[in-house]
Amino acid sequence: MKLAQRVGTLTPSTTLAITAKAKEMKAEGYDVIGLGAGEPDFNTPKHIIDAAIQSMEAGLTKYTPAGGLPALKKEVAAKLKRDQGLEYAANEIIVTSGAKHALYTLFQVLLDEGDEVIIPIPYWVSYPEQVKLAGGTPVFIEGIEANEFKITVDQLKAAISEKTKAVIINSPSNPTGMVYTKEELKALGEVCLEYGVLIVSDEIYEKLMYGGHEHVSIAEISPELKEQTIVINGVSKSHSMTGWRIGYAAGNSQVIKAMTDLASHSTSNPTSNAQYATIAAYSGSQEPVEEMRKAFEQRLDIIHQKLVEIPGITCLKPQGAFYLFPNVKEAATATGCKDVDEFVERLLTEEQVAVVPGSGFGAPDNIRLSYATSLDLLESAVNRMKNFIETNQ
Ligand code: PLP
């Protein structure tokens, strides 16, 4: 079958691929520890589940407006006001089937053939693919490890061309866990204002912050930056609701209208009961969110310490999200692997530890470990890594 050219270069998500492989090995009886998943290991809080059940029992199982239930948009607006001090009207918000689909829809309505989107490396795997699917061209800037993998004003300026439409800022970052400070965002934002570059601010890990670091949305820095930014967020990571598929975009009403029109021809609407659940997520107690954050932070502190004690591994201490992004180049070389991809493969086959190779994020010397799993399993996984390195030197 001859497929469309636009899917010719499409590669499946590395993260989902490694998770699938780990699950397959588990089903075959292997004692696999999967650190590939990008989802919290906690159950969705009960009051959220109850709200979904109640909505189903009340017969609220029909189509909703394409851009989301008005009552949910109200809660999203209240959340943005409460957490970021930002005010958005209903026509400046679209509820989508996860943050991923908010981004997908955004690039579809934003990009013409050849329009450029600046993507900092290391990047979340879907950004380049989504940009390409919309006919755009990803332009990469390398966030270097010495600068906590963050891009600088000079790098941004150098990457901007006449074709630049947007830049993606993902803070806290998947995969690095690094967080931009308010000053850094302000400086980058000024460049975007000067050159008329739209900012796509992916804030999906906003609630998972550690070590006293603070999340700042670039949109809250000034009214001009708010105008220049489309905020992307959702409940997948904050409320442990990955499977419910609810996210949102907030920003310029013209962009949101185009996204809503496109959604009306693609998804029709995000699942109605998941939307009712999300109303409860935003209007109810935020205590479970904080409890999950605390649990992540406790794991992070222990596991990061253990990891950096392994010879050949260096790792910045993440400030947010739930990933560690160690540089394992030296360990890979010491164990006779030709590159980090091979190190990852051998770790899975020889020690049954599944991690994601950094090459999928544009950083081939690193690996991504998710600590969204129990401390016991995390400790065993790190011990197995240590064992792999020691026995193969
Ligand atoms: N943005 C980043 C940086 C992510 O890591 C993810 C999920 O892994 C998403 C967006 C998508 O989130 P959702 O599950 O709401 O589609």
Looking at this predicted complex, what is its ipTM?
0.99
% the chain with pLDDT above 90: 92
What atom of ligand 1 comes closest to residue 242's alpha carbon? 14
**Tens of pLDDT, residues 41-84:** 999 999 999 999 999 999 999 999 999 999 999 999 999 999 99
pLDDT band at 13; cut points 50, 70, 90: confident
Distance 8 CA to ligand 1 centre (A): 24
**What's the CATH code, domain 5-43+288-391?**
3.90.1150.10
Report the atom number in ligand 1 closest to the C-alpha of 39.
8
- Over 90: is that where the pLDDT of 20 sits? no
Tell me whether domains 5-43+288-391 and 61-283 share a fold. Answer: no
Ligand 1: centre distance to CA 305 (Å): 27
For residues 346-372, b (16+ Cβ closer than 10 Å) or e, as one string? bbbeebbbbbbbbbbbbbbbbbbbbbb
Average pLDDT over residues 340-365: 94
Q: Which fold has domain 61-283?
A: Aspartate Aminotransferase; domain 2 (3.40.640)
Domain map (residue ranges) of the chain: 5-43+288-391, 61-283
Write out the E strands in the chain. Answer: 33-34, 93-96, 116-121, 137-142, 164-170, 198-202, 229-234, 247-250, 323-324, 353-354, 356-357, 367-370
* pTM for this prediction: 0.96
**Residues having CB within 6 Å of any atom of ligand 1:** 38, 98-100, 124, 170, 174, 202, 204, 234, 236, 242, 247
Q: Which of 96, 170, 206, 237 to mutate to test the pocket of ligand 1 (most atoms within 8 A of CB)?
A: 237
Give 92's pLDDT tier (boundaries 50, 70, 90): very high
Residue 264, pLDDT > 90, answer: yes
pLDDT band at residue 227 under the 50/70/90 scheme: very high
Nearest CA to ligand 1 atom 8: 38
Asked if pLDDT for residue 12 goes beyond 80, the answer is no
Work out the average pLDDT over 258-274.
98
Ligand 1 mean position, distance from CA 204 (Å): 6
Residue 306 pLDDT more than 80? Answer: yes
pLDDT at residue 19, rounded to an integer? 79
Residue 18: the pLDDT is 78
Query: Is it the case that residue 127 has pLDDT exceeding 90?
Result: yes
Cα angle at 147 between 14 and 343, to 5 degrees? 35
